[in-house]
Amino acid sequence: MKKLIFSTIAVMLLSTACEKWIDPDINIDPNNPKDVAMAQLLAPVEANLAYIVGGELARWDCVWMQHIAGIQSQSADNDIYTLGEADVTNAWSWNLYSPGMINTKFMMEKAVTTKSPHYGGVAKILMAYHLGVTTDHWGDIPYSDALNGAVSDYKPSYDTQEEIYTTIFTLLDEAIAELNSSESVFSPDFEDLIYGGDLAKWEKTAYALKARYNLHLAGKKGTSAYTAALAAVADSYTSNDDDFKLVFGTAYNNSNPMYQSEQERPGYYTASATYISMLDATGDPRKAVYFDGETGSKPGEPDADAAIIGVGYASSESPVYLISYSELKFIEAEARFALNPSDPLAVTACNEGIRASLEREGVFGDGTWFNSNKLTAGNISLENIITQKYLSSFLQVESWTDWRRTGYPVLQLATGAVINEIPRRLPYPDDERLYNGENMPAGITLTTRIWWDAN
């Protein structure tokens, strides 16, 4: 018994001594921190968002919208509308949700605990953008019951697209209020790759997104959607300097996603003959920026000799535009025209959108082409507004949304198409079917219309 008591005392003394001289943090893996500062989250969230919007999503959407053509392997399959559930898993699971929305949620939560509403406002704008991109591609998606990835075997329910849009507008309104807070312990600074901590530009972006998402609902809400879009435009961008874009870097792992695609899979994409023909019809000077070459590949008819994507959009440092001043002017033009086809400000706004695009691409010159091709009161129409927006939005996924909303521009089905119309949504990923199948909407195909697209 004495030996047992002595041994117990010895162990207790040894344990007490160890607590004094062994650092309790010695077994914490520095590569897997338990916490991370908001400043360390912001740049990766921004870069990841621009990478997926300007990468996989742009390659699918803009092939279908005939900006570019897929002529080899998977890209040729996409050209004729072959896209399966396994193809989209990376975009959904490993970009938009994780790390995208999960890390953005962390920022939102840390902004509350650190009393830093300026960070909270930025995070909510980024969350609204993530949600907008995701729901516009898939329709109903998990959100209010999601982003609990640490919970084992978690199966979140789906919010309807209508509910997601309500959430988007709530986030943007809250973001505007938080950005205007007079006190914030921490505020974004140089780690903000998009605006360098300029809160005024972030506020303009919140209004810009309100304009975009209100316009999406015109088919559901009619006049009130156009009126709301116009009200938001008034508080949004005033020049190309406000553009919500991310400029990539020279290091390969920091480079533009289209550049990386071209380096890793050269010869997969060319200019589309549809887009080339529309640019050639007026001698549009942006053609030389968009493409390196003269001809395009017809949808479903691969042409290896067609022009490749130009360095303005496929170099290592090329920017990805998330929403721009040019887009805002076309939103204004469409809304004004819808409310009053005789409104002269609709013509003014559309022409400003064209001018902004030309200036952004560095091809406005002396204005000769612009003055010969701008719209007038005699030829303004919804088709012409959307067509000009389409030509000004190269490799931007919003073109797919505009086509689904309006039917413009009128596009021909690809030769050899595997379905009888251009896709109107993405398939849900196989991860969802396998691990959350009881909640995933059933019976969805590429031609099933999402909520705001259903008339």
CATH for 420: 1.25.40.390
**Are 81 and 423 contacting, i.e. CB atoms less than 8 angstroms apart?**
yes
**Considering its fold, how many domains does the chain have in total?**
1
pTM of the model as a whole: 0.93
pLDDT confidence band for 24 (50 / 70 / 90): low
Per-residue pLDDT tens over the stretch 238-294: 999 999 999 999 999 999 999 999 999 999 999 999 999 999 999 999 999 999 999
In a domain, 103, yes or no: yes
pLDDT of residue 26 exceeding 90, the answer is no
Q: 2-6, 194-198, 429-433: which has the minimum mean pLDDT?
A: 2-6
What are 150-162's pLDDT values in tens digits? Answer: 665 689 999 999 9
Q: Give the sign of the dihedral formed by CA 153, CA 158, CA 159, CA 164.
A: positive
Q: Among candidates 65, 51, 172, 101, which has minimal Cα distance to 397?
A: 65
Predicted pLDDT at 198 = 98
pLDDT at position 148 is 84
User: Over the chain, what is the mean pLDDT?
Assistant: 93
Decide: helix, strand or coil at residue 297. strand
Q: Is 394 within the bounds of a domain?
A: yes
Residue 446 one-letter amino acid: L
Q: Is residue 81 part of a domain?
A: yes
pLDDT, tens digit, for every residue of 314-331?
999 999 999 999 999 999
Q: Counting Cβ atoms within 10 Å, is residue 433 exposed (0-12), middle (13-18) or buried (19+)?
A: middle
- What phi and psi values does residue 67 have, to the nearest 5 degrees? -70, -45
Residue ranges making up the domain that contains 436: 38-258+282-448
State the DSSP H helix or E strand holding residue 162, giving kind and residue range, or none if neither: helix 161-179
On whether residue 264 sits in a domain, the answer given is: no
Q: Given the structure tokens 């949700």, which residue do they identify?
A: 97
- Percentage of the chain with pLDDT > 70? 91
Residue at 171 is within a domain:
yes
Residue 334: helix, strand or coil by DSSP? helix
Q: Which of 205, 335, 249, 302 is closest to 51 using CA atoms?
A: 249
Residue 110 domain flag = yes
Q: Does the pLDDT of residue 20 top 60, yes or no?
A: no
Residues 147, 428 contacting (CB under 8 angstroms): no
Give the pLDDT confidence score for residue 25 in this predicted structure.
56
Examine the pLDDT at 17 and tell me if it is beyond 80. no
Let me know if residue 28 belongs to a domain: no
- 359-366 contact pairs (CB < 8 A, 24+): 359/240, 360/240, 360/243, 360/324, 360/326, 361/285, 361/286, 361/289, 361/312, 362/289, 363/285, 363/286, 363/288, 363/289, 365/285
Close Cβ partners of 105 (under 8 Å, ≥ 6 residues apart): 127, 147
Residue 23 lies in a domain: no
pLDDT digits 0-9 by tens, 102-147: 999 999 999 999 999 999 999 999 999 999 999 999 999 999 999 9
Q: How confident is the model at residue 6 (pLDDT cuts 50, 70, 90)?
A: very low
- pLDDT range class, residue 12, cuts 50, 70, 90: very low
